[in-house]
């Protein structure tokens, strides 16, 4: 029974952490606005994923608009000024079409990929 009781204590501690984080984000949203919360969420997800770049896109008037970012600032600024079509020409467009994870092994070898913005140089 000690294992069950220990598990229940850990579960309750995790729930308390989630409630505290939720209250903190709600307070931040009220104080600084939703943008600050979305930036924080995108940063956390990017870091947890172990990737170099993360971005939140919103659909408006049938186009993808870059709304929050972590990493690759120059590409983010380009994307903010140039909304994407929901098609296969960009990573964001493909993700919106499939509504799931997308992997492009080599953008230079993919004839459908025609993203016009800056392409980051891969880390060794």
Q: Is the pLDDT of residue 106 over 70?
A: yes
**Is there a domain that residue 6 lies in?**
no
The CA distances from residue 55 to 5, 11, 22, 58, 107, in Å, are 40, 31, 21, 10, 18
Cβ atoms < 10 Å from Cβ of 78: 15
d(CA 39, CA 47): 12
Domain count, the chain: 1
Q: What is the dihedral of CA 121, 37, 96, 78, to 10 degrees?
A: -40
Q: Cα separation of 94 and 88, whole Å?
A: 5
Can you give the length of the chain in residues?
124
pLDDT digits (tens, 9 = 90+) for 27-80: 666 667 788 888 888 888 888 888 889 999 999 999 999 999 999 999 999 999
Q: Is residue 90 part of a domain?
A: yes
The predicted pLDDT at position 120 comes to 60
Mean pLDDT for the stretch of residues 108-120:
85
Within-domain flag for 116: yes
In a domain, 3, yes or no: no
Domain range for residue 111? 51-124
Mean pLDDT of the chain: 85
pLDDT at 92: 93
């Amino acid at each position: 029974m000690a294992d069950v009781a220990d598990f229940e204590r850990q579960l309750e501690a995790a729930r308390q952490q989630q409630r505290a984080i939720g209250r903190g984000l709600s307070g931040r949203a009220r104080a600084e606005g939703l943008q600050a919360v979305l930036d924080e969420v995108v940063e956390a997800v990017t870091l947890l994923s172990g990737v170099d770049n993360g971005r939140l896109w919103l659909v408006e008037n049938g186009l993808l608009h870059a709304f929050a970012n972590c990493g690759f600032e120059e590409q983010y600024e380009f994307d903010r000024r140039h909304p994407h079509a929901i098609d296969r020409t960009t990573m964001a467009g493909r993700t919106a079409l499939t509504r799931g994870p997308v992997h492009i092994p080599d953008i230079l070898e993919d004839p459908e990929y025609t993203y016009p913005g800056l392409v980051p140089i891969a880390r060794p």
